[in-house]
Structure 1
Amino acid sequence: MGKYFINPELKKSSAILLFINFIFLLITLIMIKVNNNNLKLGYIKSIGTITEKINEKNPELLQYVIPSVTKKGKTRESEEGIKILKEYGLTVDLEDKLFPYVNESIINNNYYIITLFLIMSAILFIINYFEHIYFYKRMRKISKAAKMVVEGKYDTLIDEDREGDFSKLSNSFNSMRGIIRNNIDSLNKEKQFLINLLSDISHQLKTPLSSMILYNDILLTKELSKEKRQLFLENNKKQLYRMDWLIKSILKLARLDARAIEFLKNDISLNETVENSINALKEKANEAGIFVMLKKSDDVKFKHDRRWMEEAFINIIKNAIEHTKAGGKVEVELIENPIYVRIQIFDTGEGISKADLPNIFKRFYKAKNSSSDSVGIGLALSKSIIEAHNGIIEAQSKIGYGTKFIITFLKY
C-alpha cells in the first residue's frame, strides 16, 4: 500500500478524509453531549413532577424519595418498582410519545443525525466531484496530447513537476512522443533517401544506357566494317563495366546508409590493409606514370573490417591518381599516438578549388575539374565506410599544389 502514497493526490485526499472524520467525530460527541443533557433535563422534570405530588400529599416521604433519585437503587427495589409501574401500564412497550421528555430527546437526536448525515454526504459528494474533475482534466490533457501525436503534431509536452504516478505517466508519454517522432522522422528520411537513390540511379544510368542503345541500333541497322563494329562493341563493354561498378557502388552506399551491413572488425595490421590498397592500384598508377608510396612506419594495429577499409582507401588513392599528372606522386603515411590512429594521403595533383572542397564527399557531386567518366560516388562511399568505423575524414587542398586527405580514428 505504501507504494501508492508517493502520489500527492492520495496524500491530500487521505488527509482531507481524516480531517472530515475528525470533524464528524467531534460533532457526534457534541450531539451526544447535548442529547444526554436533554435526557437529564427530561429526567429531572419527570422527577420534579413526582416530587411535587409527594410533597403535596406527604412531605415526610421526600427524605426517602429524593436520595433515591441521584443514586443507583438496589436490584430488588428496582424490580419491585418496575412491577408496581407495570400494574399501572408503564412498560418499555409503550409508545415514545407517552414519555414526552424522552420522546422530545429522541426526535431531536434523529433530527441531528439526519442533518449531520446530509451535511456529510454533501461534503463527501463535493470532494469526490472536484477530485474526479481534477483527475479527468489531467486524463483529458493526456488524451488530447495523444490525439495530436496521432495527427502528426509532436510539439505538445505534458508538464508534471510533482512526484507520483501521473508524473511518471506524463514522462513516459513525453518519451513515447519523442520516440514516435524520431521513428516517423527516420521513416520519412528513409523514404526520401529511397526517392533520391532511385532518382540518382536513374540519372546515372540514363547516359550509358542511351549510349548503348544507340550503338546497338547502329550495329543492327548499318553495314559496318570489322574495325568499327569492334570499336562499338568495346564502347558497349566499357559502358557495361561502368554500369556494373556504378550499380554495385550505389547499392553498397545504400546499405551503408541503411546500416544494413555488419562489419567484421578484427584487431589486425592497418599497414597491411593500406599496402593491399596500394597494390590493387599499382597497375593503374604505372599506366598513368604516377609513383605511389607508403612511408615506412611501425606496425599499427587497429580494429577494422579489412575488406571494406581497403575499398575506402582504394577509392581515395584512385581519386588522387586520377587528379595527378604523369610524373607526380601519391604518398600514404600512417601515424599512431596514444590519442588516435591517422592515415594521411597526399598527392601532387592539380588540387581542389575552395568552392568544390566542402562538397567533395557528397554523393554524385562532380567538381569542375573532374573527368567525364567520374560519377562522384567513390569519395562518398569512402566517407560512409570510415564513419562506420567511428572515423573522421577531411580534405585540405590548394590549386596547383595538390590535395591531402586526413583520416583519423580516435582510440577513446
Structure 2
Amino acid sequence: MKKYFINSELKISTVTLLFIMTLFLIITSLSLKSHHDNLKNDYIKSLGAIAQRVVAKDPKMEKEIIPLITKEVSKEEAKRGKAFLKEYGLTEDLENQLFPYVSTTIIKNSYSIILIFIFMASILFVLNYFQYSFFYKRIRQLTIAAQNVVEGDYDIAINENLEGDFSKLAISFNSMRGIIKSNLSELGLEKQFLVDLLSDISHQLKTPLSSVILYNDIMVTKELTHEQNELFLLNNQNQLEKMNRLIKNLLKLAKLDAKAIEIVKEEQSLNGTLHDSIDSLESRSIEGQVKIIFNEKEEIEFNHDVLWLQEAFINIIKNGIEHTAPGGSIKLMLMENPLYTRVTIEDTGEGMTEIDLPNIFKRFYKAKTAKRSDSIGIGLSISKSIIEAHNGIIEVRSKVNIGTKFIITFIKF
C-alpha cells in the first residue's frame, strides 16, 4: 500500500475522505443529540399530561406518581404495563399518528436523516466528479499526444510536475515519443542514403558500362585486326576492373554507414598496422617514384581492428601517392599522450584549394587541382567512416603545390 501513497492525488483524496467522514460523524452526533432532546421533551409532555390528569382525579396520588415517573421500572412491571395497554389496542404496530407527541419527533428525525443523506451524497458526488475529471483530463492529454505521434507530430510533450505514477507515465511517454522520432528520422536517413547510393552507383557505372558495350558491339559487328581486338579487349578489361573496384568500395561504404559491419577491436601494435599498410603499397610507391618515410619514436599499443584500420590508412596513403609527383615523399608520424593517439600522414603533392577541403570526404568528389582522372573518389570517404568507428577524428590541411596533411586523432576517453 505504501508504494501507492507516493501519488499526491491519493494523499489528497484520502485526507479529503477523512475530513468528510469526520464531518459526517459530527453532523450525525448533533442530529442524534437533537433526537434525544426531542424524545425527552415528548416524554415529559406525555407523562406530564397523564400525571396531571391522575392528580386532578385523585390529589392523594401526587406524591406517589412523581417517583414512578423518574425511577426505572422493572422488567416485570414493564411487561404488565405493556399487556395492560395492549388490551386497549396500544401496541408498536399502531400507526405513528395515533401516538401523541411522538409522531412529531419521528417526522422531524426522518427529515433530519434525509437531509443528512442528501448533504453527504452531494459532497461525495462533487468530490467524485472533480477527482475523476482531473484524472480523465490527464488521460485525454495522453490520448491526444499519442494521436499526434501517430499522425507524425512529435513536438507535443506531456508535462507532469507532481510526484507519482502519472508523472512516471508522462516521462515514459515523452521518452517513447523521442525514441520513435529518432527511429523514424534514422529510417528516413537510411532511405535517403539508399536512394543516394543507387543514384551514385547508376551514375558511376554508366560511363564504363557504356564504353564496354560500345567496344563489345564494335568487336561483334566489325571485322577488326588482331591489334584492334587486343586494344578493345584491354580497354574493356580496364573498365571492368574499375567497375569491380567501384562496386566493392560502394558496398564497403554502405555497410559502414549502415553499421552492418562488426568492428572487432583488440589491443595490438599500431606501429605494425602502419607498417603493413605501407608494405601493401610498396609496388605502387616504387612505380610512382614516391618515397614513404615512417618516423616512429616509440611502440604504441592501440585497441583497434587491424584489417579495417589498414584499409583506412591504405586509402589515405594511396591518395597521397596518386597526387604526388615522381621524386616526392609521404611522411608518417605516430605519437601518443594521456588524452589521445595521433597518426599524421603528410605528402608533398599537388595540394588542394580551400574550396576543395570541406568536400574531400564526400563520395565521388574530386579536387579541382587533381591531375589524375581514373580515381573513383570514394577511398577517403571509406577511411573517414572507419576512423570514426574507432572513436577517431580525421582532419586535413592542404596548400596548392605544397602538399596535404591528414591528422588522425583517436580519443582515449
Tell me the residue number matched to 1:382.
383
- Counterpart check, 1:353 vs 2:360: no
**Are 1:130 and 2:130 an aligned pair?**
yes
Aligned match of 1:341: 341
TM-score by length of 2: 0.96
Q: Secondary structure at the match of 1:392?
A: strand
Q: How many residues align?
A: 412
Match of 1:13 in 2: 13
Alignment of 1:214-363 (within 5 A): 214-363=214-363
Q: Which piece of structure 1 moves more, 194-203 or 293-302? A: 293-302
Instruction: Name the residue aligned to 2:412.
Output: 411
Single out whichever of 79-88 and 372-381 deviates more from structure 2: 79-88
Deviation at 1:286, TM superposition (A): 0.8
Secondary structure (helix, strand or coil) at the match of 1:176 reads helix
Distance of 1:329 and 1:398 partners within structure 2: 16
Q: CA–CA distance in 2 between the matches of 1:81 and 1:322? A: 131
CA distances 1:110-140 after superposition (whole Å, capped 9, x unpaired): 1111222122222222222222222221111
Instruction: Quote the Cα distance in structure 2 between the aligned partners of 1:296 and 1:19.
Output: 83
Work out whether residues 285 and 292 of structure 2, in 8 Å CA contact, stay in contact via their aligned partners in 1: yes
SS class of match (2:66): helix
Deviation at 1:321, TM superposition (A): 0.7
Aligned to 1:150: 150
**Cα deviation, residue 83, structure 1:** 4.0
SS of the residue 1:335 aligns to: strand
How much has 1:97 moved relative to structure 2?
A: 2.2
How far the C-alpha of 1:200 sits from its partner, in A, is 0.6
AA in 2 matched with 1:403: T
Give, in angstroms, the shift of residue 338 of structure 1.
2.2
Q: Distance in 2 between matches of 1:283 and 1:146?
A: 63
Q: Alpha-carbon deviation of 1:76?
A: 4.0
Structure 2 SS opposite 1:295 = strand
Shift of 1:190: 0.5
In the aligned structure 2, how far is the partner of 1:170 from the partner of 1:336?
47
Matches of 2:38 and 2:81, distance apart in 1: 24
Higher mean displacement: 238-247 or 131-140: 131-140
Cα separation, 2, equivalents of 1:254 and 1:290? 32
Hey, what's the Cα distance between the residues in 1 that align with 2:84 and 2:237? 137
Deviations 1:298-319 (A, max 9, x none): 2211111111111111100000
Specify the SS of the correspondent of 1:330.
strand
Aligned to 1:155, the other structure's residue is in SS state coil
Contact 2:46 2:100 (C-alpha < 8 Å) held by counterparts: no
Q: Bigger shift: 27-36 or 62-71? A: 62-71
Structure 1: which amino acid aligns with 2:5?
Answer: F
**Distance 1:125-1:296 versus aligned 2 partners, 3 A rule:** closer
Q: Which amino acid aligns with 1:318?
A: K
- How many Å separate the matches in 1 of 2:72 and 2:149? 80
Describe the superposition over 1:220-246 as per-residue Cα deviations: whole angstroms up to 9, x where unpaired.
122222222111111111111111011
- What SS is found at the alignment partner of 2:394? strand
Q: Which runs of 5+ in 1 are unaligned?
A: none
Answer with 166-175 or 193-202: which moved more.
166-175
Q: Distance in 2 between matches of 1:84 and 1:112?
A: 34
2:76, 2:214 → 1: CA distance?
137
CA contact (8 A) 2:269 2:300 kept: yes
Structure 1 distance, partners of 2:174, 2:130, is: 27
Partner in structure 2 of residue 113 of structure 1:
113
Q: Give the letter for the 2:149 counterpart.
A: V
Structure 2 counterpart of 1:385, one-letter code: I
